[in-house]
Amino acid sequence: MRFYVPEWDDAVDSHYDFEHDELSSLDRKERNLDYIWDIFDRKTTPIDGVLISREQVEETDRKAERLAEYGVYDDPVLSVPEWLPTISDCGAWGYKSLPFPPYGNGDMLDFYETLDVSVGVTIDHLVLGSGKDKGRLYLDKRAFHDEFKQSDLPESLTDVVDVMIDEWPEEWPDYVDEYEPTIRTEVGGDVESFDPTDFRGDIDATLSRLDNDPRAVYREDDKGFRYDLTLRNAREMYDLYQDDEYPFRLMVAIQGWDPQSYAQAANTVLDLGYDYLGIGGVAGSPIHEVRKIVKGVGKAVKSFEREHSTRIDSHVFGFAKTDGFDSIGRSGMTSFDSASMLRSAWTGGENYRLDSEERYDAIRIRYPSTSDDLSEAVAKSLRGREALVALRAYDKKSPLVGAIHDWHQKAEKVLRAARDYLREHRHDSKYDESLLTDVESAFRNDFEYGRELQASFSDTLRGKLVKLLRKDDPESPVLFEEYDDLLRTAEREFEQFPRMPDHLEAEALSRVGFSEFPDVDEPSEPFDQIVDTVRAVPEFSLYEQVWNVVKDYAEWIGDEQLLEEYQQTLRNRPWEKCDCPICEEHGIEVCIFRGNDRNRRRGFHNTRRFYDQFAEDLPKILVATQGTASLGRYDTIEDYLRAEHPDFWEAVHDLPVAEVGALHGDGVQEWWDETPSLVSFAPGRMAEAVGEQTERYQHLFLLTQDGEIDSGISEAVSENDCTLQSLDDPRELRESVLETCGRDYSVGDDFVPHLPTIDTTDGLDILVIDQCSGSKEIPKGAPVFDEEETLEYTREELLGQNNVPGIEARDLYTGRQQGFVKDAVRRLRGNDHDVERYFVSAGFGLVGERDRLPPYEVTFSSMNVGEIRERSRQLNIQQELERVLTESDYDIVFFTLGSDYYTSIDVDKMVQEVPADRIGVVFNRKLVDEQFENIVSVPARTEDAKRHGKIVVGLKGHYLKNFAQWIDGYDALKPELVERLCRQVDEEPAQAAFEKY
């Protein structure tokens, strides 16, 4: 399984000056740029490949020309390492509002060859739906003008037609002639402007008129058109590809609008002969939709693989969610791409991530705005600089006040020195430059405090001084008062600093009862003395000090809504928990939200942490058999494996997650590749090659004749912490790979998500996750504990108090639902089924049915979602339930919970803990039902209650009672049978009921 990251110029300055927030060079061409593969070494780079879209390549002429000249691997800027595969596509999201893709099939093939990428992708057109009631209308943006703007389109049109407006290319591909010959206008010709009369009158007449207009394309069924066009491109591009010897592999992109249409498209392109299939159009879709689509395509692919004894690689474009790993893995996907982890570093909250659960907000220290006047810009810079100094001191666990005073002493020299420097050097020849950047570079490098001037007093001030330097001419000098006015403005703002030492010293004094400081020479000395005095006060700490600084800054700058998140970041110091080279080198800078060179580095860090979880959930697996001298007789590795190692191929050709191939002197060569012209099997060369290759794998499974492997190969693999298993039986190898993938992959031979079937003849193991109820059996006169008391004290502590009875949970809760569940459990146990029952308690967390509880009165129904989640966290409910689901041996689990209690356990996540060969039952959660084959959602609403002559309260318990009543009439249990038994309304015959007891 490979993870690709899109290339969107995500690079950072190699030698960025974090201290002064300065680029290493103001000229971009002179800066060394680091991409993610430059910051990490080969073994730890958190991607397996790079996705390069034509849209991004052609964003600037300079980039397009450079990549056309050098290719992606030899390009002096991008410089993708040879060991990283590359995929290139046309960038369909970029032209989604055009009526046609702007590229032709032959053109795209030539583009891929020029770029020298590993994989090229067929041209697809995003399926956006068919539009509004009357379809979709495309209009050329170039035809709008000041007299008739886009906003002037009549509502009578836009209300019923989905209007897509974009700038059309000057020249359309040749195939457009077959669909809309009227829009192929003369290259370089003027586009006639729209007139209001073009859109007046009856809608149908307007659309008919525009249908032949060179500035418009109208379609009633745009969904179907895009779908068919994508498949047409697949056919044409495949034929062109087969007619020539292109050096890259061709992937086919498919589109759709639901799982069925995607699966149908998959079947179509597989029949064409493609062996690499890409699922497009799912970026940004809800995870439950992606799961269903991927599952449907996966089944189509696996069916084709098994029918034709071949292997198909599959890719998911624009999707990377940790919650979806199991789905894309078990569905047989072999690669996916996403920039979401990278983008998360500067979009929204929780932008510093340790894993999918532990996330933090980077602390925003803002630059001045371009709309700020000089006073505002200087004030913002000084405030930000003081906060940055405090944060860095906190990172180093150094006294904050001393650090702030040190900065202030340095900063107060800057403006005096600037005035002296400008008087002496303003007419130097180095400032006689036409480019402002050259003047600024000279000033920054020649003036001793050039960097500190920008860091403390703003880029705005330095920029204004530089503009004066450029303008100043000894023949026509600028009045020095102009420089002086700028510097005096900065001096007035600086008079308020340092600000925070007084606040911190006052806080320190208040904690120990001091009213004033003694007179001393060093300003930081009294504070340090008091710190020594109050070391015994636990809450007075570096954290408290930095919190005062950050709180003051955030409230002043307008970020007070982020203070709670900032507290978590500062208190937990997450940058110290990460061992990636970015956090180790830059520390707290990675947790500061400020500028590209911090934010993108944080994005690289986020990608590393995502990749760690990816490798844990979907281990990197290489599966191979040792090649022989006959390898060179075949065209492809697949041909060779089919003919020379048929048992191995049959056992591994449909394996998920793993990469499959043959081992020779160049390492493991994958199944789809052409065989090498020269083959070596020298043990030393194989050991070196496979040793380098397995730096990026966790497991290598190798089939040999006798199960033995050369010791050199074994040592080379083990040095990389890669587990090597050498076997001589292909079936054992297959089972070992699936077992390594995880429990869900070992469910029979068919690991693809499927309906489980459970044998009931020897009784079922049943797990019931019930909830507490508002009505309880509480002895008269017994104390009843409230929400705060049940958190402050443990169950044992409360039960140890005088006159506090301990009541088993199954007896304490007397709600209607709990009564029905109790009856169902009694009946199931009487019929030789094993049943475990737990309660989600708003007072005490997850408790067993026999656990003794003190009387209490707490319920989730009185809390909002945020309060429920917080209390669940305090009671450790989710972790305890995960433990129960993991450790219990059950066939079926019922979650008989209401919506508030589903929130407390995060049921959408919790059902994923149910193994693929077991059944989970939820109620009124159809969305969950649709995503997982082994989860069934039983409707339990008012209309359902009426069918059973009940009320909604207690209906879930009644359903479980029904299940207990009817299950023994069946030898096998499937998810759909569970719903049928729960909802069955027929009365059981008396004789049958008697015989059960």
pLDDT score at 392: 97
Among 247, 322, 242, 320, which Cα is nearest to 285's?
320
Among the listed residues 352, 358, 355, 408, the one whose alpha carbon sits nearest the alpha carbon of residue 385: 408
Question: pLDDT, tens digit, for every residue of 24-53?
Answer: 999 888 999 999 999 999 999 999 999 999
* 518 pLDDT above the threshold of 70: no
Q: Write the burial class of residue 500 (CB in 10 Å: 0-12 exposed, 13-18 middle, 19+ buried).
A: buried
Residue 514 CB contacts under 8 Å (≥ 6 apart), including other chains? 508, 530
Q: pLDDT grade, residue 991 (50/70/90)?
A: very low
CB 974 within 8 A of CB 757: yes
pLDDT band (50, 70, 90) for residue 623: very high
Q: Is 332 helix (H, G, I), strand (E, B) or coil?
A: coil
Residue 427 and residue 483: Cα distance in Å, rounded?
A: 13
Average pLDDT over residues 470-485: 94
Higher pLDDT, 266 or 527: 266
Q: Average pLDDT of the chain? A: 91
Does residue 511 have a pLDDT over 90? no
pLDDT of residue 945: 85
Judged against a pLDDT cut of 90, whether residue 748 lies above it is answered with no
Q: Is 147 exposed, middle or buried (0-12, 13-18, 19+ CB in 10 A)?
A: exposed
Who's near 677: CB < 8 A, 6+ residues apart? 632
Per-residue pLDDT at 500: 93
Residues 6+ apart with CB under 8 A from 995: none
Q: Are 767 and 890 in contact (CB under 8 A)?
A: yes
Dihedral of the alpha carbons of 607, 611, 617, 619, in degrees to the nearest 10 = 170
The pLDDT, as a whole number, for residue 651 is 94
Q: Which residue has the tokens 């002086």?
A: 484
655-705 residue pLDDT tens: 999 999 999 999 999 999 999 988 899 999 999 999 999 999 999 999 998
Distance CA 227, CA 550 (A): 53
Residue-wise pLDDT tens digits, 138-194? 999 999 999 999 999 999 999 999 999 999 999 999 999 999 998 977 776 789 999
Contact present, 57 and 115 (Cβ < 8 Å): yes
Position 348 scores a pLDDT of 83
DSSP-derived 3-state class of residue 771: strand
Distance, CA of 206 to CA of 218 (rounded, Å): 10
Contact call for residues 411 and 386 (beta carbons, < 8 A): no
The residue-averaged pLDDT of 254-272 equals: 97
Model confidence pLDDT, tens digit, residues 321-375: 887 888 888 889 999 999 999 999 998 889 999 988 899 999 999 999 999 999 9
Q: Residue 257, class by beta-carbon neighbours within 10 Å (0-12 exposed, 13-18 middle, 19+ buried)?
A: middle
C-alpha of 615 from chain center: 14
Structure tokens at 869: 């989640």
What are the pLDDT digits (tens) for 400-445?
A: 999 999 999 999 999 999 999 999 999 999 999 989 999 999 999 9
What DSSP state is assigned to residue 473? B
How far apart, in whole angstroms, are the C-alpha atoms of residue 941 and residue 947? 10
CA-to-CA dists, residue 95 to 261, 340, 900, angstroms: 22, 20, 43
In sequence order, which ranges of 173-319 are alpha helices (DSSP H)?
Answer: 203-210, 222-243, 259-272, 287-308
Contact 376, 583 (CB under 8 A): no
Tokens of 304: 């084709």
Are 153 and 138 within 8 A, CB to CB? no
- How wide is the angle at C-alpha 199 spanned by C-alphas 198 and 202, nearest 5°? 120
Q: Letter for the amino acid at 758? A: I
d(CA 280, CA 949): 48
- d(C-alpha 897, C-alpha 906), whole Å: 11
Residue 768 has pLDDT above 50, yes or no: yes
Segment 897-934, tens digit of pLDDT: 999 999 999 998 899 889 888 999 999 988 777 778 88
Mean pLDDT of the region 576-586: 96
Provide the pLDDT for residue 993: 38
**DSSP H or E segment with residue 567:** helix 563-572
CA distance 775 to 846: 18
| Both structure tokens of 613 | 């979880």
Give pLDDT tens digits for 94-148: 999 999 999 999 999 999 999 999 999 999 999 998 899 999 999 999 999 999 9
Q: So what's the pLDDT on residue 481? A: 95
φ/ψ of residue 13, rounded to 5: -70, 120
Q: What is the pTM of this model?
A: 0.83
Task: Quote the tokens at residue 892.
Answer: 């079926």
CB-based contacts of 629, cutoff 8 Å, min separation 6? 679, 681
Nearest CA among 811, 792, 804 for reference residue 851:
811
Please check the confidence at residue 310 and state whether its pLDDT lies above 70: yes
DSSP letter, residue 199: G
Under 8 Å between Cβ of 457 and 449:
no
At position 334, the amino acid (one-letter code) is: T
Beta strands in 638-696 (DSSP E): 659-664, 667-670
Q: What is the pLDDT of residue 503?
A: 85
Q: pLDDT value at position 756?
A: 83
Name the residue among 511, 550, 547, 543 with its Cα closest to residue 527.
Answer: 511
Contact predicate 818/770, CB 8 Å: yes
Residues 6+ apart with CB under 8 A from 426: 468, 469, 472, 478, 480, 483
List all residues 6 or more positions away from 604 whose beta carbon is below 8 Å from its beta carbon: 12, 36, 39, 40, 46, 342, 582
Q: Are 399 and 491 in contact (CB under 8 A)?
A: no
What is the enclosing helix (H) or strand (E) of 51? strand 49-53
- What residues does 593 pair with on adjacent strands? 364
3-state secondary structure of 249: strand
Helix axes 955-966, 816-830, angle to 10 degrees: 10
Checking if the pLDDT of 538 tops 50, the result is no
| Whether the predicted pLDDT of 319 surpasses 90 | no
Tokens of 147: 């007299």
pLDDT confidence tier of residue 529, bands split at 50, 70 and 90 = low
Distances (CA, A) of 490 to 457, 921, 986: 7, 67, 86
Instruction: Give counts: helices (H), strands (E), the chain.
Output: 41, 32
533 half-sphere exposure, CB direction, 13 A CA radius: 14
Which stretch, 185-194, 472-481, 948-957, has highest mean pLDDT? 472-481
* Cα separation, 953 vs 940, whole angstroms: 9
pLDDT in tens, 600-622: 999 999 999 999 999 988 899 99
**What does the alpha-carbon distance between residue 169 and residue 915 come to, in Å, rounded to a whole number?**
52
Instruction: Go through 928-950 and write b for each residue having 16 or more CB atoms within 10 A of its CB, e for each that does not.
Output: bbbbbbbbbbbbbeeebbeeeeb
Quick one: pLDDT at residue 742? Answer: 82
